[in-house]
Amino acid sequence: MRNLILGAILGVILSRFSIGSILMTVPVLLACQSVRKDSIKAGVFAAMLVAVTIWQLISFRDIIGTEYWPVMLTGLYVPAAITVGSAVWALTYGHSGSLMRRFFWACIPVFAMGLLMSLYFALDASQGVRDVMANSVLYYFRSDSLGVDFEPIVKMVVDSLMYYFAPLGVLLLAFPVVVSDINLNKYDEEWQYDFANMKLPDTYVWVLFGSWAMALLSVWIKSFPIWLKAISWNCALSMTVLYFVVGVSILVAFARRRTAAITAGRIVFTVCLVCFIPGLNVVAIVGLPVLGILETWIHLR
């Protein structure tokens, strides 16, 4: 119990840092294994969410009550989504079967939160918030000092956030979940086998294809409703992230077929490293989801 509380305090502190917020729930997830009561786990995660929200309110106290208050929600999205998703992951331990099923359940509230953020950004009412976000980024890229006008690029990136909130949340949730589980189960052969056999139901591939068809259609048809465009892109990219995870699982199965000495942790670390290497990252980002999709019809493991 003490480790759980200390982990929650450390997590709240980590949430104040851009990189730290991604791994903020790792200390709690590591301590959760020694706690049997789900009510205690839920209470700790709820306390973390409240603490992070209060801290966010204090940080943005100057804009509360103004038209720019949704900027606070944008900053709260990542730590809140990761906290809620991690809570679902911890609470489904021992109840929801395979790792893939647990991760899918954990992604549902994250996807819902991201979709709400995306739909808000699709409204004309969010223009002021988008301008504030763009100006805060442009503060660090002044055209008069760099000789390059970054304003059109930054505004385009901010405006396109409506398409990426949900998949970004799902992708970021994978980091604390995988990091904590790898550390807890690196010597557990049963867990290694489960990780190497993560798979989505076959029918989900049609959700992927349907959402991508809708997303691409929204690009070609100029009169496509902006809210439907946001939904289709968020759904398509979120499903792609899930199939990316399946692709990583297939790589682990391939590696462990040759030798059981290779653990899932090594493969995950290698994939993360490759994703930061220009050129090779394209192969990983495109190839792994395709690998996951192919297993719908081709038995790869």
The span from the CA of 104 to the CA of 170, in Å, is 9
Residue 147 clears pLDDT 80, i.e. is over it: no
Percent of the chain exceeding pLDDT 70 equals 96
Record the pTM: 0.89
The span from the CA of 232 to the CA of 216, in Å, is 9
Using alpha carbons, select from 288, 273, 268, 279 the residue that is nearest to residue 99: 268
Of 45-54, 131-140, 239-248, 290-299, the one with minimum mean pLDDT is: 131-140
Cβ partners under 8 Å of residue 33, min gap 6 = 93, 184
Q: Provide the pLDDT for residue 245.
A: 96
Residue 90 clears pLDDT 90, i.e. is over it: yes
Of 151-165, 241-255, 286-300, the one with minimum mean pLDDT is: 151-165
Band of pLDDT at residue 213, cut at 50, 70 and 90: very high
Q: Provide the pLDDT for residue 98.
A: 87
Of 14-28, 40-54, 58-72, 98-112, the one with minimum mean pLDDT is: 58-72
Residue 63 clears pLDDT 80, i.e. is over it: no
Computed over every residue of the chain, the mean pLDDT equals 89
List helix spans (H) across the chain.
2-14, 26-32, 38-59, 70-91, 99-121, 127-138, 143-146, 151-159, 165-185, 189-195, 204-220, 226-258, 264-274, 280-294
Mean pLDDT of 5-16: 89
Band of pLDDT at residue 114, cut at 50, 70 and 90: very high
Band of pLDDT at residue 111, cut at 50, 70 and 90: very high
Which pair of structure tokens corresponds to residue 268?
């995950």
Q: Provide the pLDDT for residue 140.
A: 67
Mean pLDDT of 184-211: 92
Residue 75 clears pLDDT 60, i.e. is over it: yes
Distance between first and last Cα of the chain:
40
Cβ partners under 8 Å of residue 237, min gap 6 = 163, 164, 166, 167
Band of pLDDT at residue 68, cut at 50, 70 and 90: confident
Band of pLDDT at residue 43, cut at 50, 70 and 90: very high
Q: Which residue has the higher pLDDT, 57 or 95?
A: 57
Residue 249 clears pLDDT 90, i.e. is over it: yes
